[in-house]
Chain A
Amino acid sequence: MKPEGITYLTDVTLLTCIVAAGRADVVIRAAQGMGAPGAIVYHAQGLGPRERLGLLSIAIEAEKEVVSILVAADYQDAVLETIYRAAELDVPGAGMIYAIPVEKVATYIPRDIMEKGQAS
């Protein structure tokens, strides 16, 4: 017997982090260490700033990995900062991270986690 209805998660933020190919692992590990439930990696190609560097562009990988992570909006800064530090995004050419508010999310929420959320 399945209970009718749907549970929306609100106050969610989508963090998107773009790094050089092969560095998605660092980002994901940092995010998971901060309690992020999961992540999705896309393989992508970056254009723009790299081309404007002239010959220096050889030092920067055009192949990128884009990591998407959903986090609680209240804690987005904490996760974002942690990723920023872990992936060393303060170095030129290392990549970027941005946050987008998400209106709602619906998925299967394990009952265990749901109950814990209600209790606290």
Chain B
Amino acid sequence: MTDSVRYADYLRVIGAGRREVPMRELVSAPVRGADGRWTAAALPAAKLHGDEIAAVLKPYINVRLMEQIRAVVPLALYLALFQIIILRQLVEESLIVAGGLFAVIVGLMLFMEGLKLGLMPFGEIIGSNLPRKSSLPVVLLVTLLLGIGVTFAEPAIGALRAAGQNVSAERAPYLWAILNQWTRELVLVVGASVGLAAVTGTLRFLYGWSLKPLIYFSLVPVLLLTVYFSSDPELAKVIGLAWDAGAVTTGPVTVPLVLALGIGIAAAAGKGGSGLSGFGIVTLASLFPVIGVMLLALYVSAASSPAEIVAAAQAAAGAGQAEGAWFTVSPGLEIVSGVRAIVPLVIFLLLVLKLLLRQSLPRRAEIMLGIALTVVGMCVFNLGLTYGLSKLGGSAGSLIPSAFMQIPGADNSPLYLYQVGLVLALAFAWLLGYGATVAEPALNALGVTAETLTNGFIRKRSLIRAVSIGVASGIAVGVAKLVFDLPLVWLVVPPYLLAALLTVVSTEEFVNVAWDSAGVTTGPITVPLVLAMGLGLGNATQAVEGFGILCMASVGPIISVMLLGQWARIQLRMQEKAAVEEPVNHLLETGAPG
């Protein structure tokens, strides 16, 4: 029997699962038309089965989810462990808090992705096309309005509003009035300040102004107003809020969107180039709102007396017992505020695009999906904020003092000797600030910039460390302020004067990096956590208000980064000197240069 088997067939059989398909079977065949040209059907849009879609989405979601988990989980774990081990208290309603944290993670993930897909392309299109088609005043007006819009969309702003519910009207009437009756005006004022900052920053782009005089000019009114406020016992309680508002604004929506617009304008004017010119807007956007909020407080104090506000608060408290409409109670409130934050911004951008630019959206479906993701993410994030981060921060904040003083809610407090407990609480705050900052992704980008600026003399790692130490020290000082009830004016004015002094002696580039590092560090996770912790701490220690930690956390890095810059310069000069003085043959003898 001479049956033969082709070797190739044999291989195909034993190499099970290994098969070959000629490509022609998978594509449509071209046909030659009457005119001799080839025609063929184009490949239709891919039709995928469920498991194939899952396989495509899995790596995409994994990467983004891990990013947020890395930012949130260590902080939350640290807070919870500190509470359990040092304070010997269990986290209350731990399931809800865990669910809330998960919502924060998912919400942030959706929000950031939506931002990248939907809002950012918008900003870039407008930024690059608007200056070419419209005159400068129109461009500046759009910038101003955009500044207001992005402030409404900023997730951290919601945390500030939520904080208002814990303030007592009797003890800090103006603060209560601003946070409860004037919330819309508050956000509007902050937004307008950010808008003004964006306009100033854009002008700076166009005319190449130095940042230093701008800093001096905005610092003078800020510090003067602060000193004036501190002289009035009622107004003094608003200082903390005003300074914190500045730190809150420079979040993940404002910075990239305003920057995209500004860079577009600068590029269109032919003034692009310097990568640094993008900086500075962030700085101004964190100083101007301080002025804005203080002016609003002045207006409120002129419009109503403390007694009236207290009466109004009591009336509100009485009426507040009634069941509100569905959109004024959680979770309806979070969803409505999420939608309200994004949709006006999108409508504004669309109007600019249609009316001023007369352009249609490129990749419309993708951008629409992005915007939908942003809205959904914002709503989920808001829910998580209420149930997870704020609760965790608040409970940690209210329990920390039990380490060193008598707290009604905590068993056998004080847990430790007064001094030991105090040191523990401050160390906790310091480590929290350090951990939260080191993980901040925006800081990485800043570190790279600093490294290129100084030709690698300042390492990325040392900048990140400097900023983190600055933030950590700031938060620790802020906590000390709450514990000892120090007047904020003494904590704000001297550091900013020191910062101004350092600004005078530092180089322009380093001034840019240092002042911006303050805005960069206050992200969407740090802000609500620190705010909630501060308010809880403030309540527990019977302080009037729990604000001020954030602003301490933003002046800290300014000083530490500029000190780092000075140190680097001195080191560099000493090296140069040594290199000049040291004879070459000496170098040869030792064999090791530098």
Contacts and interface: CB of A to CB of B under 8 A. Distances in A.
Given A72-B27, A113-B26, A117-B26, A10 B43 contact: no
B326 interface: no
B308 interface: no
A9 B28 contact: no
B84 interface: no
Given A5-B18, A8-B21, A120-B25, A37 B43 contact: yes
Contacts of B49: 111-112
Contacts of A36: 27, 43
Contact of A72 (B16, B22, B47): B22
Interface string B214-249: 000000000000000000000000000000000000
A104 B30 CA distance: 22
Contacts of A4: 16-17
A54 to B, nearest CB: 34
B251 to A, nearest CB: 36
B23 A9 contact: yes
B563 to A, nearest CB: 44
B26 A116 contact: yes
Contacts of A81: 38
A73 interface: yes
B23 A105 contact: yes
A8 B25 contact: no
Nearest to A31: B42
Given A112-B47, A112-B48, A35 B23 contact: no
Contact of A109 (B20, B26, B38, B41): B26
B24 interface: yes
A8 B37 contact: no
Contacts of B19: 5, 7-8
B16 A5 contact: yes
A6 interface: yes
B315 interface: no
Given A5-B16, A110-B52, A111-B49, A75 B40 contact: yes
Contacts of B41: 35
Nearest to B51: A111
A57 interface: no
Interface string A42-69: 0000000000000000000000000000
Interface string B299-325: 000000000000000000000000000
B56 to A, nearest CB: 10
Contact of B40 (A70, A78, A110): A78
Interface string B364-404: 00000000000000000000000000000000000000000
Interface of A: 3-12, 32-37, 70-75, 78-79, 81-82, 85, 104-105, 109-114, 116-118, 120
9 contacts: A9-B26, A10-B20, A12-B23, A32-B43, A34-B38, A34-B39, A79-B38, A82-B38, A105-B23
